[in-house]
Amino acid sequence: MKMRIFYETLKNELDTMGIQYTPEQMGLCEAYFRLVAETNTHTNLTRITGEADAARMHFGGALYLFGMMDLPKGCRVIDIGTGAGFPGIPLKLFRPDISLTLLDASGKKTEFLDRAAAGLGIDVAVLRARAEEAARTALRDSFDIALSRAVAPLRMLLELCVPFLKTGGTLAAWKGESYDQELEDAKNAMSALDCTLHNCRSVGCGAVLLIEKQKPTQDTYPRRFSKIKNQPL
Ligand code: SAH
Protein backbone atom coordinates (compact mmCIF):
# COMPACT_ATOMS: atom_id res chain seq x y z
CA MET A 1 0.00 0.00 0.00
CA LYS A 2 1.50 3.35 -1.08
CA MET A 3 0.48 6.17 1.19
CA ARG A 4 1.18 9.21 -0.91
CA ILE A 5 -1.70 11.27 0.48
CA PHE A 6 -0.73 10.54 4.07
CA TYR A 7 2.89 11.39 3.36
CA GLU A 8 2.17 14.62 1.46
CA THR A 9 -0.38 15.86 4.00
CA LEU A 10 1.91 15.14 6.93
CA LYS A 11 4.86 16.81 5.22
CA ASN A 12 2.70 19.85 4.59
CA GLU A 13 1.58 19.95 8.24
CA LEU A 14 5.17 19.72 9.48
CA ASP A 15 6.39 22.42 7.09
CA THR A 16 3.55 24.75 8.10
CA MET A 17 4.43 24.29 11.77
CA GLY A 18 8.15 24.64 11.08
CA ILE A 19 8.93 21.22 12.54
CA GLN A 20 12.19 19.60 11.39
CA TYR A 21 12.03 15.92 10.47
CA THR A 22 14.17 13.13 9.11
CA PRO A 23 13.19 10.50 6.50
CA GLU A 24 13.32 7.96 9.36
CA GLN A 25 10.71 9.91 11.33
CA MET A 26 8.43 10.12 8.29
CA GLY A 27 8.89 6.37 7.84
CA LEU A 28 7.94 5.71 11.46
CA CYS A 29 4.80 7.86 11.13
CA GLU A 30 3.78 5.91 8.02
CA ALA A 31 4.50 2.57 9.68
CA TYR A 32 2.47 3.57 12.72
CA PHE A 33 -0.46 4.85 10.67
CA ARG A 34 -0.38 1.62 8.65
CA LEU A 35 -0.57 -0.45 11.86
CA VAL A 36 -3.49 1.62 13.15
CA ALA A 37 -5.38 1.36 9.85
CA GLU A 38 -4.77 -2.39 9.49
CA THR A 39 -5.72 -3.19 13.07
CA ASN A 40 -8.77 -0.98 12.76
CA THR A 41 -10.20 -3.30 10.09
CA HIS A 42 -10.88 -5.92 12.79
CA THR A 43 -10.52 -4.06 16.13
CA ASN A 44 -12.17 -0.73 16.70
CA LEU A 45 -9.39 1.78 17.47
CA THR A 46 -10.37 5.05 15.83
CA ARG A 47 -12.97 6.63 13.58
CA ILE A 48 -10.37 8.61 11.65
CA THR A 49 -8.71 6.35 9.08
CA GLY A 50 -8.63 8.44 5.87
CA GLU A 51 -5.01 9.26 5.01
CA ALA A 52 -5.42 13.04 4.86
CA ASP A 53 -7.63 13.26 7.97
CA ALA A 54 -5.30 11.00 9.95
CA ALA A 55 -2.22 12.99 8.94
CA ARG A 56 -3.95 16.23 9.94
CA MET A 57 -5.84 15.21 13.04
CA HIS A 58 -3.83 12.36 14.56
CA PHE A 59 -0.36 13.66 13.73
CA GLY A 60 -0.52 17.38 12.89
CA GLY A 61 -2.95 18.01 15.76
CA ALA A 62 -0.68 16.25 18.26
CA LEU A 63 2.49 18.00 17.09
CA TYR A 64 0.77 21.37 17.38
CA LEU A 65 1.82 21.19 21.03
CA PHE A 66 5.45 21.85 20.07
CA GLY A 67 4.50 25.37 19.00
CA MET A 68 2.73 26.05 22.31
CA MET A 69 5.23 24.93 24.91
CA ASP A 70 8.79 23.78 25.38
CA LEU A 71 9.00 20.17 26.41
CA PRO A 72 12.14 19.98 28.58
CA LYS A 73 14.60 17.30 27.50
CA GLY A 74 13.76 13.95 29.07
CA CYS A 75 10.55 15.23 30.68
CA ARG A 76 8.00 12.76 32.02
CA VAL A 77 4.81 12.68 29.97
CA ILE A 78 1.63 10.60 30.42
CA ASP A 79 -1.11 10.23 27.80
CA ILE A 80 -4.35 9.48 29.63
CA GLY A 81 -7.00 7.54 27.69
CA THR A 82 -4.55 7.25 24.81
CA GLY A 83 -6.62 4.73 22.79
CA ALA A 84 -4.47 3.80 19.79
CA GLY A 85 -1.70 6.13 21.03
CA PHE A 86 -2.96 9.64 20.32
CA PRO A 87 -1.60 12.20 20.89
CA GLY A 88 1.30 10.50 22.74
CA ILE A 89 2.97 8.37 20.06
CA PRO A 90 3.28 11.09 17.37
CA LEU A 91 4.96 13.32 19.97
CA LYS A 92 7.36 10.53 20.95
CA LEU A 93 8.28 9.90 17.29
CA PHE A 94 9.50 13.49 16.98
CA ARG A 95 10.89 13.78 20.51
CA PRO A 96 12.41 10.38 21.34
CA ASP A 97 14.01 11.86 24.47
CA ILE A 98 10.69 12.25 26.34
CA SER A 99 9.78 9.56 28.83
CA LEU A 100 6.27 8.54 27.77
CA THR A 101 3.64 6.52 29.61
CA LEU A 102 0.56 5.48 27.64
CA LEU A 103 -2.43 4.74 29.87
CA ASP A 104 -5.74 3.23 28.85
CA ALA A 105 -8.42 1.22 30.61
CA SER A 106 -9.06 -1.01 27.62
CA GLY A 107 -6.99 -4.19 27.21
CA LYS A 108 -7.74 -4.22 23.48
CA LYS A 109 -6.06 -0.82 23.19
CA THR A 110 -3.07 -1.62 25.40
CA GLU A 111 -2.45 -4.89 23.51
CA PHE A 112 -2.31 -2.86 20.32
CA LEU A 113 0.00 -0.31 21.95
CA ASP A 114 2.41 -3.02 23.08
CA ARG A 115 2.53 -4.38 19.53
CA ALA A 116 2.90 -0.92 17.99
CA ALA A 117 5.73 0.05 20.37
CA ALA A 118 7.59 -3.18 19.61
CA GLY A 119 7.01 -2.78 15.86
CA LEU A 120 8.21 0.82 15.85
CA GLY A 121 11.08 0.11 18.23
CA ILE A 122 10.09 2.92 20.59
CA ASP A 123 10.63 2.90 24.31
CA VAL A 124 7.32 3.67 26.04
CA ALA A 125 5.58 2.37 29.17
CA VAL A 126 2.13 0.94 28.35
CA LEU A 127 -0.25 0.73 31.26
CA ARG A 128 -3.67 -0.88 31.32
CA ALA A 129 -5.44 0.91 34.15
CA ARG A 130 -8.22 3.27 35.00
CA ALA A 131 -6.85 6.77 35.45
CA GLU A 132 -8.68 7.38 38.74
CA GLU A 133 -7.08 4.24 40.20
CA ALA A 134 -3.58 4.70 38.75
CA ALA A 135 -3.57 8.24 40.18
CA ARG A 136 -3.50 6.68 43.66
CA THR A 137 -0.29 4.74 42.98
CA ALA A 138 3.34 5.91 42.77
CA LEU A 139 2.39 7.62 39.50
CA ARG A 140 0.69 10.38 41.50
CA ASP A 141 2.46 13.78 41.47
CA SER A 142 5.12 12.37 39.16
CA PHE A 143 4.64 13.80 35.64
CA ASP A 144 5.72 17.07 34.09
CA ILE A 145 3.05 16.89 31.40
CA ALA A 146 -0.26 15.05 31.03
CA LEU A 147 -1.85 14.77 27.59
CA SER A 148 -5.42 13.88 26.81
CA ARG A 149 -7.70 13.92 23.79
CA ALA A 150 -11.33 12.87 23.45
CA VAL A 151 -11.66 11.24 26.88
CA ALA A 152 -14.13 13.25 28.98
CA PRO A 153 -15.64 16.73 29.41
CA LEU A 154 -13.02 19.09 30.84
CA ARG A 155 -14.49 19.26 34.37
CA MET A 156 -14.21 15.45 34.63
CA LEU A 157 -10.93 15.29 32.74
CA LEU A 158 -9.25 17.60 35.23
CA GLU A 159 -10.02 15.26 38.11
CA LEU A 160 -8.74 12.27 36.09
CA CYS A 161 -5.50 13.94 34.96
CA VAL A 162 -4.31 16.62 37.38
CA PRO A 163 -3.41 14.22 40.25
CA PHE A 164 -0.70 12.71 38.01
CA LEU A 165 1.08 16.06 37.65
CA LYS A 166 3.88 17.46 39.74
CA THR A 167 3.10 20.88 41.15
CA GLY A 168 3.91 23.28 38.32
CA GLY A 169 3.14 20.57 35.73
CA THR A 170 0.90 21.09 32.71
CA LEU A 171 -2.17 19.33 31.40
CA ALA A 172 -2.50 19.63 27.62
CA ALA A 173 -6.11 18.89 26.66
CA TRP A 174 -7.22 18.57 23.02
CA LYS A 175 -10.83 19.75 22.92
CA GLY A 176 -13.57 19.96 20.33
CA GLU A 177 -15.54 22.96 19.14
CA SER A 178 -17.42 23.45 22.42
CA TYR A 179 -14.20 24.13 24.35
CA ASP A 180 -15.44 27.56 25.47
CA GLN A 181 -18.45 26.02 27.15
CA GLU A 182 -16.31 23.25 28.64
CA LEU A 183 -14.00 25.87 30.14
CA GLU A 184 -16.96 27.72 31.57
CA ASP A 185 -18.35 24.48 33.07
CA ALA A 186 -14.93 23.59 34.49
CA LYS A 187 -14.49 26.75 36.61
CA ASN A 188 -15.23 24.98 39.86
CA ALA A 189 -13.09 21.95 38.97
CA MET A 190 -10.18 24.29 38.13
CA SER A 191 -10.41 25.89 41.53
CA ALA A 192 -10.96 22.62 43.47
CA LEU A 193 -7.88 21.17 41.78
CA ASP A 194 -5.85 24.40 42.10
CA CYS A 195 -5.35 24.87 38.36
CA THR A 196 -5.18 27.84 36.04
CA LEU A 197 -5.60 28.15 32.30
CA HIS A 198 -2.20 29.01 30.94
CA ASN A 199 -2.82 29.03 27.18
CA CYS A 200 -5.56 28.15 24.71
CA ARG A 201 -5.06 27.98 20.94
CA SER A 202 -7.52 26.92 18.32
CA VAL A 203 -6.56 24.05 16.08
CA GLY A 204 -8.91 22.72 13.40
CA CYS A 205 -12.42 23.21 14.77
CA GLY A 206 -11.31 22.79 18.40
CA ALA A 207 -8.50 23.93 20.65
CA VAL A 208 -5.55 22.78 22.69
CA LEU A 209 -5.78 23.99 26.29
CA LEU A 210 -2.74 24.21 28.53
CA ILE A 211 -3.66 24.06 32.20
CA GLU A 212 -1.16 24.45 35.01
CA LYS A 213 -1.28 22.76 38.40
CA GLN A 214 -0.43 25.32 41.06
CA LYS A 215 -0.57 23.26 44.25
CA PRO A 216 -0.46 19.61 45.33
CA THR A 217 -3.80 17.88 44.72
CA GLN A 218 -5.95 17.32 47.82
CA ASP A 219 -6.10 13.70 48.98
CA THR A 220 -9.81 13.52 48.23
CA TYR A 221 -9.15 13.59 44.46
CA PRO A 222 -9.67 11.72 42.26
CA ARG A 223 -12.90 10.30 43.66
CA ARG A 224 -14.48 7.04 42.47
CA PHE A 225 -15.47 7.16 38.80
CA SER A 226 -19.20 7.07 39.58
CA LYS A 227 -18.73 10.24 41.67
CA ILE A 228 -16.57 11.94 39.03
CA LYS A 229 -19.27 11.24 36.45
CA ASN A 230 -22.47 11.75 38.41
CA GLN A 231 -21.33 14.59 40.64
CA PRO A 232 -18.69 16.32 38.50
CA LEU A 233 -16.79 19.10 40.21
N1 SAH B 1 -6.99 9.72 22.96
C2 SAH B 1 -7.38 8.80 21.90
C3 SAH B 1 -8.55 7.89 22.29
C4 SAH B 1 -9.83 8.57 22.61
S5 SAH B 1 -11.15 7.42 22.98
C6 SAH B 1 -7.68 9.60 20.65
O7 SAH B 1 -7.80 10.81 20.72
O8 SAH B 1 -7.79 9.00 19.57
C9 SAH B 1 -11.14 7.46 24.77
C10 SAH B 1 -10.19 6.45 25.39
O11 SAH B 1 -10.11 6.75 26.78
C12 SAH B 1 -10.67 5.01 25.29
O13 SAH B 1 -9.63 4.21 24.74
C14 SAH B 1 -11.00 4.60 26.73
O15 SAH B 1 -10.69 3.25 27.00
C16 SAH B 1 -10.13 5.55 27.53
N17 SAH B 1 -10.67 5.91 28.86
C18 SAH B 1 -11.85 6.52 29.15
N19 SAH B 1 -11.96 6.73 30.47
C20 SAH B 1 -10.82 6.26 31.04
C21 SAH B 1 -10.34 6.18 32.39
N22 SAH B 1 -11.08 6.64 33.42
N23 SAH B 1 -9.13 5.65 32.62
C24 SAH B 1 -8.39 5.18 31.57
N25 SAH B 1 -8.79 5.21 30.29
C26 SAH B 1 -9.99 5.73 30.03
- Chain segment 162-194, per-residue pLDDT in tens: 999 999 999 999 999 999 999 999 999 999 999
pTM of this structure: 0.97
Q: Which protein residue's CA is at the shortest distance from atom 1 of ligand 1?
A: 82
Alpha helices in the chain (DSSP H): 4-17, 23-40, 51-53, 61-63, 88-94, 107-120, 131-134, 154-161, 179-185, 187-192, 225-230
- Tell me the best of 36, 108, 151, 158 to mutate to test the pocket of ligand 1, counting ligand atoms within 8 Å of each CB and taking the most: 151
Q: How far apart are the C-alpha atoms of 186 and 162, rounded to whole Å?
A: 13
Cβ atoms of residues 200 and 210 within 8 Å: yes
Q: What is the mean pLDDT of the chain?
A: 96
- Mean pLDDT confidence for 67-76: 97
- Mean pLDDT confidence for 65-70: 96
The predicted pLDDT at position 204 comes to 82
165-175 β-sheet, strand order: 124-128, 99-104, 76-80, 143-149, 165-175, 206-213, 195-203
The predicted pLDDT at position 21 comes to 96
Q: Which protein residue's CA is at the shortest distance from atom 6 of ligand 1?
A: 86
Q: Which atom of ligand 1 is nearest to the CA of 82?
A: 1
Distance from the alpha carbon of residue 152 to the mean position of ligand 1, in angstroms: 8
Q: Which protein residue's CA is at the shortest distance from atom 8 of ligand 1?
A: 86
Cβ atoms of residues 206 and 177 within 8 Å: yes
Distance from the alpha carbon of residue 46 to the mean position of ligand 1, in angstroms: 11
Q: Which atom of ligand 1 is nearest to the CA of 109?
A: 13
Any residues with Cβ below 6 Å from ligand 1, and which? 46, 81-83, 86, 103-106, 109, 130-132, 149-151, 160
| Per-residue confidence band for 46, with pLDDT thresholds at 50, 70 and 90 | confident
205 pLDDT more than 90: no
